[in-house]
Structure 1
Amino acid sequence: MKDYRRRDVALAVGLSGVAGYVDAIGFLKLGGFFVSFMSGNSTRLGVGIATGQWAMARTALALIGLFVVGVVLGALVVRKAGEGRRSVILALEAGLLTAAAGLISCGFDTAGVAAMVLAMGAENAVFQRDGDVGVGLTYMTGALVKTGQRIAAALTGGDRWAWGPYALLWAGLSLGGALGAGAYLRVGVLALWAAAALVALLAAVKAWREWTNA
């Protein structure tokens, strides 16, 4: 992440926190499935197939498919709006999270969960560069690998603090997960409204900055 400004790193960490927050809500709501962590769902898909637990396999596969659709949707929106218009993809994510919270609150759980997964997939387009993901926001294995690699480089004479941004991404997601789980245990799906409001605020701030810098 050395090519990103501090403001971008802060946004990435904040959005990783949102991903952890929403994922924890989804995990508790779905009883052990994820809305942003597709590695976990892929493992559950394999276990379901191997053990003949077809309901598990179907659920995992559906979530994975929805996530990919969300990634495609986010990438298409960014291609249309331009990779410098991060406010647009943030607005899309906020709209999907708002829809998710509203649908689940009204009893439409399946549609609401689908909107959550789409939002998490779309979030990964916020830092899209040249049609590719610049910073992964909803999965942390890569960030942890890069943290370890940068620590190794620091121990052998490289940049002393290059590992920091990647560690912050992981910390953001983990803290967001703790906050999301705690909020869900207290207020249920109402906790999802907070994530929608935060992303909407980030979209508004980003849009203002893009407009004033135009």
Structure 2
Amino acid sequence: MKSYGRGEVMLAVTLSGVAGYVDAIGFLKLGGFFVSFMSGNSTRLGVGLATGHWGAVSTVLTLVASFVAGVVLGALTARGFGENRRSPVLVLEAILLAAGATLLGLGYDTAGITAVAMAMGAENAVFQRNGDVAVGLTYMTGALVKAGQRIAGALVGGEPADWLRYVLLWTGLAAGGALGALTYLLVGAASLWGAVSVVGVAALWAERRWRSA
């Protein structure tokens, strides 16, 4: 995060907010499963295997496979566009989210949730660098660990505010989750269109920024 400018940091925080927003919608729609938080789903998988809840096992495996497929699509898109990767990856994410919202609206829940989980996987390629994810946008454990490490560094004379960017990422995810839950309770799965709009605007911003660089 330290190597990124203010605009890129705000993009990352915004997209973390989108991830929290979408994950909260998926969590409520699925009754306790996640479309972006695969660590939580992995725990649900273990519990399902131990207790014989095979429906839960099937749901988790579908979500994990969809998420990984989205990661693959996002990574291939990022590789294909090179330095101008952010806007195309965000367009891919917006298309998948729009497909998911449309399918859910038509009553095709499994297909819709599959598309949404793929969108969340693809989002992690926005900050791909040398084939690896430089900034994780849909999971925050690593960000919180780094925040703690930077706080420790600050206490022994290091940079006093290095930790703040990681806390902002986490805050974005949490705030997005709250907004997503509230919106879902009001309008149901149609709330996903809000995420489509934000990601679409982010894609336009990323394209404009790249062209002006």
Instruction: Note whether the superposition's TM-score is higher than 0.5.
Output: yes
Preserved CA contact (<8 Å) 1:90 1:123: yes
Superposed CA deviations along residues 25-50 of structure 1, whole A, max 9, x for unmatched, are 00000000000000000000000111
Give the distance between the partners of 2:75 and 2:135, measured in 1 at CA.
13
8 Å contact kept, 1:127–1:133: yes
Give, in whole Å, the separation in 1 of the partners of 2:102 and 2:31.
Answer: 20
Alpha-carbon offset, residue 118 of structure 1: 0.3
TM-score (norm 1): 0.98
Letter in 2 for 1:147: A
Write the mapping of 1:8-27 to structure 2, written as runs, cut at 5 A.
Answer: 8-27=8-27
Number of aligned residues: 213
Instruction: Tell me what 1:98 maps to.
Output: 98
Question: For 1:32-79, what per-residue CA distance to the aligned partner results, in whole angstroms no more than 9, with x for missing partners?
Answer: 000000000000000011111111111111111111111011000111
Structure 1 residue 204: Cα displacement: 1.3
For 1:167 and 1:120, how far apart are their aligned partners in 2? 20
Q: Secondary structure in 2 aligned to 1:103?
A: helix
C-alpha displacement of 1:210: 1.9
- Alignment of 1:40 onto 2:40: yes
Q: Residue type of the partner of 1:166?
A: Y
Residue 63 in 1 paired to residue 67 in 2?
no
Q: Which residue of 1 aligns with 2:177?
A: 177
Q: Distance in 2 between matches of 1:57 and 1:83?
A: 39
Distance 1:43 1:7 in 2: 35
Q: Distance in 2 between matches of 1:84 and 1:192?
A: 26
Shift of 1:211: 2.4
Cα distance in 1, alignment partners of residues 111 and 85 from structure 2: 28
**Deviation of 1:84 (Å):** 3.5
- Deviation string 1:90-125 (CA, Å, 9 cap, x unpaired) is 100011111111111111111110110000000000
1:65–1:162 distance in 2 versus 1, CA, 3 Å = same
Partner letter of residue 133 of structure 1?
A: V
Give the distance between the partners of 1:83 and 1:24, measured in 2 at CA.
32
Distance between the aligned counterparts of 1:52 and 1:206, measured in 2? 46
CA apart distance, 1:205: 1.8
One-letter amino acid matched to 1:11: L
> Structure 2 counterpart of 1:98, which letter?
A
Alignment-derived partner of residue 3 in structure 1:
3
Structure 1 range deviating more: 13-22 or 187-196 = 187-196
Quote the residue 2:80 is aligned against.
80
Q: Which sections of structure 1, spanning at least 5 residues, go unmatched? A: none
Identical counterparts, % of pairs: 64
CA shift, 1:208, in A, is 2.1
Deviation of 1:212 after TM superposition, in Å, equals: 3.2
Contact 1:83 1:128 in 2 (8 A): no
Unaligned runs of 5+ in 2: none
Q: What is the Cα deviation at residue 209 of structure 1?
A: 2.3
CA distance in 1, matches of 2:83, 2:75: 9
Q: TM-score, normalised by structure 2?
A: 0.98
Conserved 8 A contact 2:62-2:114? no
- After the TM superposition, which of the residue ranges 29-38 and 48-57 deviates more from structure 2? 48-57
- Alpha-carbon distance in 2 for matches of 1:157, 1:70: 41
Provide the rounded CA distance (Å) in 2 between the counterparts of 1:197 and 1:147.
30
> What root-mean-square deviation, in Å, do the aligned CA atoms of Structure 1 and Structure 2 show?
0.8
Q: Give the secondary structure class of the aligned counterpart of 2:142.
A: helix
